[in-house]
Amino acid sequence: METCIYKGFVTHRRFKPLRHYFSYKTFSILFDLSELEDLHKNIGIFSFNKFNIFSFYNKDHGSRDGSDLTEWVKKNLENYKLNFNISKIKLLCFPRIFGYVFNPLSIFYCYEQNVLKAILYEVKNTFNEQHTYVFSVSNSSNIITQQCSKKFYVSPFIEMNTLYNFRLSEPDDNIRILIKQTDKVGKILVACQVGTKQNISLKRLLINFFMHPMMTFKIMISIHYEALRL
């Protein structure tokens, strides 16, 4: 299976209006969307569109109505005139744990014959709203850099008139994702996710569950706790 786990940590470093830093250990799953049914059949504690210890629901992403995510991604690419023959889509996100998840950022990697052609960044806020930023990928460099204007309210501490600067590489043995938010003066926030690849299995999911119990609940709690500190 190409679906795998990335175990690592997330950091946030804020530069204004106040300097603030926090970090927490976590793990994400890079789902090959074509393998969700197989994961459901082969791993007893994982379900697709059904409740379990770990689960993945279509309604957590895309149009949020439970419809097929592969078709949703392809329609988005068409809307942006990115006419690739996409044969594989992978999604990096947190899984549901005991039915709950919050994904501040989910990343769709879109492949044409094993060549990465496009990336979709799906950003959510704590009001259950989301916006997706769509980019094509130039394969001239191992490091992918992309920039766009912020079009979606996320934090009460950051104005809308800012830029997102994405810097990442294609997932392999490791992931490293850097997002820098800037305004006309300079840096406002730098967020980073780093992880090391693990094969997905019943045993590996159980190990990560006991090392990070109720991880998805803790993420939401941490967001509000850090906001109160600010």
pLDDT at 91 over 90: yes
Percentage above 90 pLDDT, the chain: 70
As a whole number, mean pLDDT of residues 191-217 equals: 93
As a whole number, mean pLDDT of residues 28-39 equals: 98
The terminus-to-terminus CA distance of the chain in angstroms comes to 42
In the prediction, which pLDDT does 31 show? 98
pLDDT at 44 over 70: yes
pLDDT at 157 over 60: no
Q: Which residues contact 81 (CB under 8 A, 6 or more apart)?
A: none
Contact, 23 vs 193, CB < 8 A? no
pLDDT at 12 over 70: yes
- CA–CA dist 110, 131 (Å, integer): 18
DSSP 8-state code for residue 65: S
- CA–CA dist 10, 207 (Å, integer): 19
As a whole number, mean pLDDT of residues 156-164 equals: 74
Measured CA distances, 33 to 4, 56, 185 (Å): 12, 10, 40
As a whole number, mean pLDDT of residues 31-58 equals: 98
Contact, 200 vs 44, CB < 8 A? no
- CA–CA dist 194, 7 (Å, integer): 8
